[in-house]
Amino acid sequence: MQYFKPFILLLAIVLFLGCSDDNGDTGTNPPPGNGTAARIDVSMVNTTFSPADITINVGDTVVWTNNDQIIHTTTSTGGVESWDSGNMSSGETFRKVFNNVGTSNYRCEIHPVVMTGTVTVEQ
pLDDT band for position 6 (50/70/90)?
low
Express each pLDDT in 45-102 by its tens digit: 999 999 999 999 999 999 999 999 999 999 999 999 999 999 999 999 999 999 999 9
Confidence (pLDDT) at 36: 83
HEC string for 74-100: CEEEEECCCCECCCECCCCEEEEECCC
Comparing C-alpha atoms, which of 63, 55, 59 is closest to residue 23? 63
What does the alpha-carbon distance between residue 98 and residue 48 come to, in Å, rounded to a whole number?
21
What does the alpha-carbon distance between residue 114 and residue 39 come to, in Å, rounded to a whole number?
25
Strands 61-66 and 39-45: parallel
Confidence (pLDDT) at 92: 98
Fold of 37-122: Immunoglobulin-like (2.60.40)
What residue ranges do the domains of the chain occupy? 37-122
